[in-house]
Amino acid sequence: MNVAFIGLGIMGRPMAGHLIAAGHSLFLYDITGVPEGLAGTAVSSAAEAARRADIVITMVPDTPHVEAALFGPGGVAEGLSPGKVVVDMSSISPIATKGFAEKINVLGCDYLDAPVSGGEVGAKAASLTIMIGGPQAAFDRVRPLFEAMGKNVTLVGGNGDGQTTKVANQIIVALTIEAVAEALLFAAKAGADPARVRQALMGGFAASRILEVHGERMIQRNFAPGFRIALHQKDLALALDGAKALSVPLPNTAATQQLLHAAIAQGGAAWDHSAILKVLERQADFEIAAPAAARQDAA
């Protein structure tokens, strides 16, 4: 297929690379320039990318960025013609998504909201979970592209339902990261080796992908971003805004959002979201990576 790919950051670059490796022709655009090493065709605007492609994919940070990429000067809408499909793989507002879809539909094109889960690791491994909202026919047309980038590809429902699913995903991920951080901090402060505690828990009912990946990050103190705290803060804001509109209580989501706020206040906007641990450590005046003797003294 001829594919426009707009947004080539931490996630977008490897995703575009998988499409190129699968034999598709890519027209690439990013406001900061196209990274070296991608074998697609760099173009000067999102409009040009859309004009030269049949399928247009956007992968940018937040709702305003998607709106600008689609409808701003030199945006995707300027390059569309009837019959094309626009696929937004960013994580943004479900409500705004429905409005974007309506505008794209007026131009004679289909729209799919297709946010992903799996972070940088999943993007590089082509193992992303992709949750899609939109018409069945458009999904069937684009599915080969999804399957080149991910493993768990699901059409959830109509436009907006993909983004709603991603918000639900981000609630679960944030609260589970926070739970793992609390558990490892508790264990370490009590004098146990958090690495061995994690190893033991991986064989029980508490086992999870979060404990596996982010628990290891916490122990190794590797907070280089796979998924930045600022982006997860944005996602939980979407959850809490939606909950307010729906009159749904999300008390633990709200509490975890406060930890993300605190991390950003500490200069951690670009930390990986596993660095929620650092906020809890500051409150406890204790780091889980402290030497065993220090942990024993603190206990």
Q: Quick: pLDDT tens for 44-102.
A: 999 999 999 999 999 999 999 999 999 999 999 999 999 999 999 999 999 999 999 99
Whether pTM > 0.85 for this model: the answer is yes
Q: Residue 185 above 90 pLDDT? A: yes
Q: Which two tokens stand for residue 31?
A: 């406001």
**Active-site residue numbers?**
166
pLDDT band at 294 (very low <50, low <70, confident <90, very high): very low
pLDDT cut 70: percent of the chain above it: 97
Q: Residue 297 above 70 pLDDT? A: no
* Mean pLDDT lowest among 3-12, 13-22, 33-42, 185-194: 33-42
**Distance, CA of 255 to CA of 242 (rounded, Å):** 16
Nearest CA-CA partner of 80 in 90, 71, 88, 89 = 71
pLDDT band at 292 (very low <50, low <70, confident <90, very high): low
Residues 6+ apart with CB under 8 A from 74: 45, 46, 47
Instruction: Quote the pLDDT of residue 27.
Output: 98
Q: Quick: pLDDT tens for 37-53.
A: 899 999 999 999 999 99
Report the b/e string of 56-80 with b at 16+ CB within 10 A.
bbbbbbbbebbbbbbeeebbbbbbb
Q: Quick: pLDDT tens for 247-283.
A: 999 999 999 999 999 999 999 999 999 999 999 999 9
Phi, psi of 134 (to 5 degrees): 150, -175
Mean of pLDDT values over 20-27 = 97
- E strand spans, 120-232: 128-133, 150-157
pLDDT band at 229 (very low <50, low <70, confident <90, very high): very high
Q: Residue 171 above 80 pLDDT? A: yes
Instruction: Quote the pLDDT of residue 37.
Output: 86
- Which residue matches tokens 């739970």? 179
Instruction: Quote the pLDDT of residue 290.
Output: 53
Instruction: Quote the pLDDT of residue 291.
Output: 47
How far CA 271 is from CA of 12, 138, 199, in Å, comes to 19, 36, 24
Residue 273 DSSP label: G
Helix, strand, coil percentages (3-state) for the chain, rounded to 5, are 55, 15, 30
Q: Residue 234 above 50 pLDDT? A: yes
Q: Yes or no: say if 44 and 60 are a contact pair by the CB < 8 Å rule.
A: no
